Every structure is written in C-alpha cells, then in structure tokens.
Amino acid sequence: MAPRVLVSDELSETAVQIFRDRGVEVDFQPKLGKDKDKLAEIIGNYDGLAIRSATKATEKLIAAATNLKVIGRAGIGVDNVDIPAASRRGIIVMNTPFGNSITTAEHAIALMFAVARQLPAADTSTQAGKWEKSKFMGVEITGKTLGVIGAGNIGSIVCSRAIGLRMQVLAYDPFLSKERAEEMGVTKVELDELLAKADFITLHVPMTDKTRGILNAEAIAKTKKGVRIINCARGGLVDEAALAEAIKSGHVAGAGFDVFETEPATESPLFGLPNVVCTPHLGASTTEAQENVALQVAEQMSDYLIKGAVSNAINMPSITAEEAPILKPFIRLADVLGAFVGQVTESAIKEIEILYDGSTAGMNTKALTSAALAGLIRSQVSDVNMVSAPVMIKEKGIILSEIKRDKTGVFDGYIKLTVKTDTQTRSVAGTVFSDGKPRFIQIKDINLDADVGAHMVYITNTDVPGMIGFIGTTFGNAGVNIANFQLGRKEQGSDAIALLYVDGPVPEELLETLRANPAIRHAKPIAFNVD
C-alpha cells in the first residue's frame, strides 16, 4: 500500500505533484491546518504531514497521529511543531533550511540599506508632499564594518553579499573554524570585539537557551556608538525594550527588524521610534523561496517514505538516498545487536559503549547508534524506533559513548555493543557478510560465527564435560527440536557459551531445568524478527 501524506497548509500544485510522481498518495487540504479539531480527527490515517506555519503540530495532535512517521515543515522554523513530543512518538521532523536562505539574507541586506538611508521615512515624507532633503541624512555602506552574529547558511550568504559591497566583515560563531573564516574572507572574532567595532550588526542564529537575549542591555551597552542593528533571524535574540532605550538615548542610530519577541507583533517598544524599519516576518516571503521550500519538503518526505532516506531532520541523523541501501544491512545488524543485549540484560543499564571497527567507522554511525539503541530498548518498549530511542536513553540518564578505530581483525568492519549495569557487563559483536545478513562474531569476548534465528536460546556455563549431552537431553525430554547450535569458549575450563536455534518459543519449565544445573549460570530465550 502506498504511503499517505496530508498537506494541511498552502503548498504549490507542483509540490503536490512531486508526491504523486514519487508514488505517495497525497490528500491536499490547504485550509485544514486552521481547524485543529478536524485535523486531530483524521490525522491517524496518514503516514506523513506536510505543513507551513498555520498548522500547529501540538502534543495533543501528535498523540492522535497513531500512524504518522514524518512531519515536513516547508521552511526553516519549526516553532509550530512539538519536537520532543514527536521524538518520543518516533516521528521524524524535517525542515527545509536551504530553500529560503538567499531570500532571508537579501532581506537583511535590504533592511541594512533602508536603515542606512532612512528610506521608509523619506518615502512617507515625500509622498505626503514634503521635500525634507536635509532631514534624511544617511550613511554609506562602503567601507563600514559589518558584524555578523552567526555565520551558518544564511549568515555566510550575508557575509558574501557584504564583501561584494566593499564592507569589512567580522563574524562571531563558536562553530566557525579559522580556515572556513579565511575561505569566506571574513575575520573571526569574539562577541565583545564584534560589538565594539561593528558599524552594523546583523543576527543569523537560531533561538536557543544560549542565544536568547544575546543582545541584551549589557551587550548593547558594549556596542559602538552610532551602530545600526538588523534582526531577520528570530524574535527574542534582541531585548527590544533595551534596544528602544538605546535608540532613544542616541547610542544606537537605527534598527531594522523583521522578527519580534511576540508575533504577530501588534505592538513593540520599537514601534514609532525614529529610523526603525519594521517588516512583518517577510524574510522568506518571496515567490522563489516559497516555491523552493515547498518542492524541497515534498522531495524529502517522499524520499523517506519510499526509500528510507532522511535529510534535514531535526531529531534524526540524516541518511542520503545513495547511502540508504548500503547502510540498511548494517542498521539491521546494529538493531540485532541491541535486541540481543536488551534481552539478556536483567538489571538497569548505566552505560552503553558502541565500537565501530574498520569499514563501519566510516559509515553514518549516528544512524547506526540510533538503530542499536532502538533494538536495546525494544524489549522494554515495543513501539520504540530510531527517532525515539536516543531520547529515551537521554531521559534515563544513561551514559552513551562511541569509539571508532581502524581495522584490527580479520573482518573488514564490525560493530561491538557493550552495556554495563551495577551487577554485570554484557557485550556482543557482529558483522554483515556478502549475503547482506547480520552475523554474531563475538559474545562475552568469546569468538564464534552464528546466524540470527527467529527463536534462539542463549546459555552461559562453566566449561565442564557432559554439558552438550545434558542440554540436548533436556531439550529432547521437553519435546523441543534443536535445529542448529553454535558453541564457543575462551579456553578449557573457562566460560563457555551456546546459541541454540529452535523451531518456536521454549517452555519456561525447560529453562528452569537448565538453570538448575550448577554449571549453567544463564539460560535465556532470544527472539528476533527475521525477514
């Protein structure tokens, strides 16, 4: 059956057709996003939800979305999606961060020009029949210093445009490397230096706990007298009341704002002040941008629902369409390793370590780790997946670590999963052979070569004579057929393990008989979904 997607906001017909062309059944109801009750009533029928800003994907709506796998936001902002709630339900949340980058960057440059030359006020005055030429004395852009806070997708475009305008550009971004700054032609600085030297300041960072109020009263006081401040990123990055006071005092010469702390912004401390230019969140409002983000979200959602490719996800590692088929068997392997350890571990897990050896170290390990965590938790929570598992691990306070290393053994690459509790350590390693199927190659640091079976029994015991006979007799007396088995030990008289493949679930009475033998320390049934 083809996956179904509901489009509850305005998307172009071209975007809707992309869904159909990719084999997705699409229900186009562009006004539905405003009817939250009707939306909640039908959302359970869909695998995907494509939205803009009108639809609010609240925790209540997500709870009703029993079949939903992906929410696609046509645009960069996901303030209208409850991401933690979606993650807990295993729903991927995607946005389109590149579709409106140029448009937003151009709007920031346009506001900079408007503030520098007082264009809106001059226009209003002139059209009112006045000719106040001396009143609107502006400043040149050329030769001035622009301070860019945030040099990511949009910020880097602003930097490029500013350099073309013959401006000196200072960039503050903790994630900007010195090499990248040199490549861009900007000077990487700390925030205080930027504030002290910039003639214009423009912000291009997301709203986080660290960036909220990044330009507060204290920071504004550090700015160069006569500075002009532009914000096309997110409301709340700048303290509007503090900025208003700085404008009134003459310390700040002007401001251009497209975003506000409260939106729709029907009032603001900035409204009515001289040389303040305000627009109603128009950063992404061009014909080209709106079409680009619509097409992009349709392509991303279709690729995920049809091919399993994940791109621009907020709460899930990206998996390209090209790497999805290569990664698929290793995702299956990681899931199997997690499921094995999850079923043989009785006490609460405190630490998880995942080792990627050889070729696996060069793969998309974030996706592999998510799969391993999903398998690990599934014995406790049946509806967990690669999206929700990392959230659950974090909420439980479990320490997670990844190790990557070059090839060390006979296998081109393998994955080893180790978990620690207060009382035990469990580990299992596996690889993928040429047939694409996962194989166990090590359990408890004991080497072996074992397939993954639908029904298995895992036994650990002291290596003493007669154990194979005892195990076989016990199964035979219980009428349970052993289809195959794999044995392993480190050395004579040490720990030994056995993996037995059986035709169906094993009676608890049989397991109790095994456990009654003093040489057997552990006997546990293991079940896997085998394709």
Residue 234 bears catalytic tag: yes
Sheet holding 25-28, edge to edge: 25-28, 4-7, 48-51, 70-73, 92-94
Residues 6+ positions from 69 with CB-CB distance below 8 Å = 3, 47, 48, 90, 91, 92, 304, 305
Q: Which residue has the tokens 């279709």?
A: 302
Out of 52, 88, 107, 281, pick the active-site residue: 281
Look at residues 185, 189, 215, 183 and name the one whose alpha carbon lies nearest to residue 202.
Answer: 215
Neighbours of 400 (CB within 10 A): 14
The tokens describing 430, both together, are 């596996």
Residue 263 bears catalytic tag: yes
- Give the span between the Cα atoms of 105 and 283, in whole angstroms: 8
CA angle 370, 373, 376 (to 5 degrees): 155
- Give the span between the Cα atoms of 384 and 386, in whole angstroms: 7
Upstream peptide bond of 84 is cis (omega within 30 degrees of 0): no
Amino acid at site 76: I
| Residue 117 burial (C-beta neighbours within 10 Å; 0-12, 13-18, 19+) | middle
CA 297 from centre of chain: 15
Out of 52, 73, 234, 426, pick the active-site residue: 234
Out of 41, 59, 190, 263, pick the active-site residue: 263
Parallel/antiparallel/unpaired status of strands 438-443 and 425-432? antiparallel
Give the C-alpha distances (Å, rounded to integers) separating 185 from 107, 319, 417, 435.
21, 32, 44, 50
Active-site annotation, residues: 234, 263, 281
